[in-house]
Amino acid sequence: MAIDKYTSRRFDIQSEEAIDLAVLEAVPFDYPDSATEVVYETEEFTFVCPWTGLPDFCRLVIRYVPHHSLVELKSLKYYLTSYRNVGILQEHAVNRILQDLVQLLQPVSMVIEAEYKERGGLKTKAVARYEKEQ
């Protein structure tokens, strides 16, 4: 019987504990009642499949209406980079980012959208939403 040379091939995969939540910083937002929409986009967000270690790449859009805080951009870049070798499902990644940023910022609303590069003939888009309770 032939042994599949790919069956045992794995790359180093970090657990979700490697996501650097501590690096995130909030800065004051001086216009809390302005209904300002803030949008951050990157084509360079990546993490890995939790089973194979193969990379997932996506276009990530973070859209929110701040209340009293904004996320400091350098801290956001370091936070997103910390996902690079983390094994996490595509649908879980958007929800984890949403959870972490809502906890930090307590925004009026927030949407995290991820359009993943096609893999195996499938293209995935995942969207996670938060609305502050009135």
* CATH architecture, domain defined by 16-131: 2-Layer Sandwich (3.30)
> Is 49 a residue of the active site?
yes
Q: Please report the pLDDT score of residue 7 as a whole number.
A: 58
Residue 41: partners with Cβ closer than 8 Å, 6 or more residues away:
59, 60, 61, 62
The residue-averaged pLDDT of 129-133 equals 94
pLDDT in tens, 92-127: 999 999 999 999 999 999 999 999 998 888 899 999
Question: Is residue 12 over pLDDT 90?
Answer: no
Structure tokens belonging to residue 3: 């042994």
Q: Please report the pLDDT score of residue 1 as a whole number.
A: 46
Report how far residue 11's alpha carbon sits from residue 53's, in angstroms, rounded to the nearest whole number. Answer: 5
Question: Which stretches of the chain are DSSP H helices?
Answer: 73-81, 90-105
48, containing H or E segment: strand 38-48
Q: Which is the catalytic residue, given 4, 20, 30, 49?
A: 49
Q: Which is the catalytic residue, given 20, 33, 56, 100?
A: 56
pLDDT in tens, 53-93: 889 999 999 999 999 999 999 999 999 999 999 999 999 99
